[in-house]
Structure 1
Amino acid sequence: MTRPKTRLAMTSHWLLYLLAATGCQAVFALFYWLLLAPLSTFGWNRTYLLSALLLSAALPLLALPTAWAPLVWPSSPVVPTLALPPWQLATYRTAPTEVATQTGVPWLLLALATYWLGVAYQAWRLARSLAWLYLLSRQHPRTRLGRGWLVQLPEPSQPAFSFGKYVFLSPAHAQLSPAEYAQLVQHEQVHGAQHHSLDLLLAEVVGCFFWFNGLVPYLRQQLRTVHEYLADAAVTRAAGSRVAYGRLLLKLAAGPAPTSLVHPFSTRQVALRIRMLTTPPSSPMKKLRFLLVIPVAVLAWIGAAAVSPTPSVAAVGLSTAVPTPSSSAQSRIGTISWQGNKFLSAAQLNEALDLRPGDPYDSTVVEAKLGAWADSRTITSRYMDHGYLFFSIKPVAKPQPNGTTDLLFILNEGPTAQINNITVKGNHKVPTATILQLVPLHHGELFSRAKLLASQRALAESGLFDPTKIGINPQPTPDTGLVNIEYVVVEK
């Protein structure tokens, strides 16, 4: 069942990535709204908004520097003891993902399917808008306009707008005075010359993947507004008449744009644009606010790391998968020694650990290799498959002057545990005796992690119960060396 487990792990990792990226977008949007939006530094604001969209997507994928790790996952220099003894881990890990994926669809997969349906819908809308603009530019008369094209639309009610190198005007705009017409065309040409449509395309693509997040439309709208400020400033700087240009904005005030990809000449934000025309340039002291962008980005990065799919084992408890050594390892492994082992020899323990002197030292890798419940190759699983329910292991890392790290593992094997009473809860139609015949665990046998998982698979595959609601609760009593097993089922 490796494939369902891998697929579910990838699903949870992707959803965590989306959560982390959304958090970054929230940080960047809040900072812009509070400190940068009122400034008349339009070029800088444009750069910030584009960077916010890109960094929000990229920061959750970047690993934090090793020195920053304690800010997110506080830990001591010595590798900590496992957060819980293995028998307690068994209590709430007896519903493996692989069983749920055999006959039922986990909620994670449903969430992922819903997400990708949303992405597909947004991508379809984007493709439809691009196709509409392409047909619009081909089906109507057009003339050369500098390096671009002027497209004459047939409907007088159509607003003036531009996309890329195309400027779209209606017959109504031909009634403007020559000075007004020149300002209108120049405004739209500025959008094309400064490649504003590429900015909107980037924002739309990001919006396809974050369609569920209202912050992306906010950043996109702010970006479009900054584009208008830049074009307004370019026209009024060349014409030298802000009053006449403001009157033109009021004259051509229109409703919403035909698509979010275009730059309409005048929208409902006319009052805000006219106010910006009369706003003096931001003072150098106000421009110092942009220096805060660096700590804000670092804050977003640390926050993204806190919910990233690959946090430190010390922060979240025992990992259920064996990761590969990461590039954040600070040293190499020196010696490996064992203390307290009787059931397994040092050679067998070294084989199960699968680490050798000279390998990169990474505490997360060491922890995972010791105790992943679902992996039969780990040391904890090998003990628990042979009755050592009360087994525990404490890894200790000892940095050496030569830069290596010696590893000492202190084992407490404890006594073996025997199965005592086996009970069933939740069955009404299926007799308990029938259920006990399905499972490989029996009274008087040694406890076995492998048989515990096999029991759950057997109940799931029987077709008698809801496979997503099968629970197995070991109830150990360390003083007696016995363990009661409780099966919890929900009949179909």
Structure 2
Amino acid sequence: IRYMGILFSYSLYSSILLSLLYLSYKWVLAGENQHAYNRTALWLICLVALLGLPLSRLAASIGADAPAAVMPEIEMGQIQIGLEADESAGFQPLWLTAVLWIYLSGVVLTAVQTLLIASRLWRIISAGETVREGRYRIILTDDRSIAPFSWWRYVVMSRSDWNESGRMILTHELQHLSLHHWIDLAVAQIISIFQWYNPSAWLMREEFKTVHEYQADKAVLESGIPARDYQMLLIKKAVGARFPSLANSLNHSKLKKRITMMYNQKSSASRRLRGLALVPALAAAIAVTNIDAVAAVLEETSAARFFVEETSEPVAAEIRTAVNGLPSTESSAVFTREVSEKTQDSQMSPATVSDHTGNAVAAAAEALTAAVSEDDKTSRKTAENADSPELVYSVVQKKPEFPGGDAALLQYISDNIHYPKEASDKKI
């Protein structure tokens, strides 16, 4: 829950890539009779969508570090900066918190639904009669309402189906198992859980299943089974319980497309070049994520939290400790940042930022102390003029201040504390 904002932001980024790449695939490749190639293309779309954000961050960090020379290590300790009280500090918009709860609810519900389907599937496998078929297992069930399906190393069908068309069904389902189609569906389902709001994620899963059925249908026809007999079997088994999330069912709903594909000639090798259309689609997807408005939303959701704690402390405790007697500021909020970066700043010597900051604070303290000393001398002279050498003032009429006033103090600190440019570019 602590990192839900980061997960949601990552989900949004990957969903943009997945959506545009899927639409391009559907446009240029889905109708081609090159099933192994299409399956590979679908896998590449999933991998690019999932790894796009980490790879882009890695490329950005390498690009930022490449031109740098020897870079001294800069260690910034705990820096406390006093600012005027800001009512928005420590809070996030209510709508963003609501969005996080909605997203988490969708993830949980989709995951629970997947687990329930898996549980039902396993109960059917456990309750059926097992028949060995090499390294695979055939599960025979008395429930005739269940359409034949396969998952992992199991082929499940009713006894009546086994007696009527057992070998034909087995040829189809064993092709699913030998090609490990269940792995595709498992990955597609995981993506659908974390992108439950994205229609393209669900359509990608269905696209995987369609390609799987094309491959299994092709294996049946190549085994010598008459196409007409096999098509009649598909029509007979067009109804029945299925497990769309995890298993490959014989009665996949794309029956018309499957029968049509059986008569299509294999696509020529040159048709595979159509897959190059995915490259500009990827470029367009990355461009979309870099649009200022989109990038701002991704950045804001990444920093979102379910519970936000407000920080409220006295201002600049270190400075007050260095200069005794300074009054505290009631209307100040303190924002503490722990930063560890490596950078090289033309305005900085190869010293630590903590030392540099300490020098600035020490200079301010020294100036304030000098002002106190000056006022103390004035107080002593006043006491001497009053013929009261015993009199020592504990409170002076003019409070000490930085030479030039508070504005000069802020300007001095601003001129002498430099934030690492690399961290600033990365919005760290």
Alignment TM class, shorter chain as reference: 0.5 to 0.7
Matching residue within 10, 20, 34 for 1:41:
34
Instruction: Look up the SS of the partner of 2:209 in the other structure.
Output: helix
- Any idea what the Cα deviations from partners look like across 1:117-141, whole Å, max 9, x if unmatched? 1111111111112222222111121
Structure 2 residue 125 is matched with structure 1 residue 137: yes
In structure 2, the residue matched to 1:352 is 417
Query: How many Å apart are 1:274 and its aligned residue?
Result: 1.1
Instruction: Look up the SS of the partner of 2:146 in the other structure.
Output: coil
In structure 2, the residue matched to 1:444 is none
Q: Conserved in 1, the CA contact under 8 Å of 2:125 and 2:139?
A: yes
Q: Conserved in 1, the CA contact under 8 Å of 2:24 and 2:277?
A: no
Instruction: Look up the SS of the partner of 2:155 in the other structure.
Output: strand
Query: How many Å apart are 1:259 and its aligned residue?
Result: 4.2
AA matched with 1:231: A
- Partners in 2 of 1:58 and 1:326 — Cα distance? 25
AA matched with 1:143: V
Q: Conserved in 1, the CA contact under 8 Å of 2:146 and 2:241?
A: no
Q: Unaligned stretches of 5+ in structure 1?
A: 1-6, 70-89, 313-319, 356-360, 370-492
Query: How many Å apart are 1:49 and its aligned residue?
Result: 1.6
Mapping for residues 112-127 of structure 1, pairs under 5 Å:
112-127=100-115
Q: Conserved in 1, the CA contact under 8 Å of 2:149 and 2:156?
A: yes
Query: How many Å apart are 1:244 and its aligned residue?
Result: 2.8
Q: Conserved in 2, the CA contact under 8 Å of 1:11 and 1:108?
A: no
1:147 and 1:366, CA in 2 relative to 1: closer, same or farther beyond 3 A?
A: closer
Structure 2 residue 30 is matched with structure 1 residue 18: no
Structure 2 residue 84 is matched with structure 1 residue 96: no
Mapping for residues 254-269 of structure 1, pairs under 5 Å:
254-255=239-240, 257-269=242-254
AA matched with 1:160: P
Q: Conserved in 2, the CA contact under 8 Å of 1:16 and 1:309?
A: no
- Any idea what the Cα deviations from partners look like across 1:307-357, whole Å, max 9, x if unmatched? 346999xxxxxxx99796889x8xx433359xxx981498744653255xx
- Partners in 2 of 1:63 and 1:326 — Cα distance? 20
TM-score in terms of structure 2 length: 0.64
In structure 2, the residue matched to 1:151 is 139
- Partners in 2 of 1:97 and 1:12 — Cα distance? 18
- Any idea what the Cα deviations from partners look like across 1:192-250, whole Å, max 9, x if unmatched? 11111111111111111111111111110010010001111122112263333223222
Mapping for residues 166-205 of structure 1, pairs under 5 Å:
166-176=154-164, 180-205=165-190
Instruction: Look up the SS of the partner of 2:197 in the other structure.
Output: coil
- Partners in 1 of 2:244 and 2:45 — Cα distance? 23
Q: Conserved in 1, the CA contact under 8 Å of 2:152 and 2:180?
A: yes
Structure 2 residue 231 is matched with structure 1 residue 239: no
AA matched with 1:132: R
Matching residue within 262, 269, 273 for 1:288:
273
Instruction: Look up the SS of the partner of 1:30 in the other structure.
Output: helix
- Partners in 2 of 1:174 and 1:345 — Cα distance? 85
Moved more, 158-167 or 296-305: 296-305
- Partners in 1 of 2:298 and 2:145 — Cα distance? 56
1:186 and 1:97, CA in 2 relative to 1: closer, same or farther beyond 3 A?
A: farther
- Partners in 2 of 1:34 and 1:141 — Cα distance? 44
1:300 and 1:324, CA in 2 relative to 1: closer, same or farther beyond 3 A?
A: farther
- Partners in 2 of 1:42 and 1:137 — Cα distance? 29
In structure 1, the residue matched to 2:43 is 50
Q: Unaligned stretches of 5+ in structure 2?
A: 64-82, 300-334, 350-403
Instruction: Look up the SS of the partner of 1:335 in the other structure.
Output: coil
Matching residue within 206, 222, 230 for 1:221:
206
Moved more, 220-229 or 293-302: 293-302
1:221 and 1:259, CA in 2 relative to 1: closer, same or farther beyond 3 A?
A: closer
- Partners in 2 of 1:310 and 1:115 — Cα distance? 15
Q: Conserved in 1, the CA contact under 8 Å of 2:28 and 2:277?
A: no
In structure 2, the residue matched to 1:128 is 116
Query: How many Å apart are 1:50 and its aligned residue?
Result: 2.3
TM-score in terms of structure 1 length: 0.56
1:326 and 1:46, CA in 2 relative to 1: closer, same or farther beyond 3 A?
A: farther
Structure 2 residue 283 is matched with structure 1 residue 298: yes
Instruction: Look up the SS of the partner of 2:417 in the other structure.
Output: helix
In structure 2, the residue matched to 1:406 is none
Count of residues paired in the alignment: 316
In structure 2, the residue matched to 1:160 is 148
Q: Conserved in 1, the CA contact under 8 Å of 2:39 and 2:208?
A: yes
Q: Conserved in 1, the CA contact under 8 Å of 2:150 and 2:249?
A: yes
- Partners in 1 of 2:264 and 2:271 — Cα distance? 14
Name whichever structure is richer in helix by fraction.
Answer: 2
Mapping for residues 397-436 of structure 1, pairs under 5 Å:
none
- Partners in 2 of 1:311 and 1:271 — Cα distance? 41
- Any idea what the Cα deviations from partners look like across 1:88-123, whole Å, max 9, x if unmatched? xx9xx954142x47xxx8221221122111111111
Query: How many Å apart are 1:278 and its aligned residue?
Result: 0.9
Q: Conserved in 2, the CA contact under 8 Å of 1:232 and 1:277?
A: yes
Structure 2 residue 234 is matched with structure 1 residue 249: yes
Q: Conserved in 1, the CA contact under 8 Å of 2:132 and 2:138?
A: yes
Structure 2 residue 424 is matched with structure 1 residue 365: yes
- Partners in 1 of 2:425 and 2:246 — Cα distance? 51
Greater length-normalized contact order (CA 8 Å, ≥ 6 residues apart)? 2
1:173 and 1:47, CA in 2 relative to 1: closer, same or farther beyond 3 A?
A: same
1:236 and 1:261, CA in 2 relative to 1: closer, same or farther beyond 3 A?
A: same
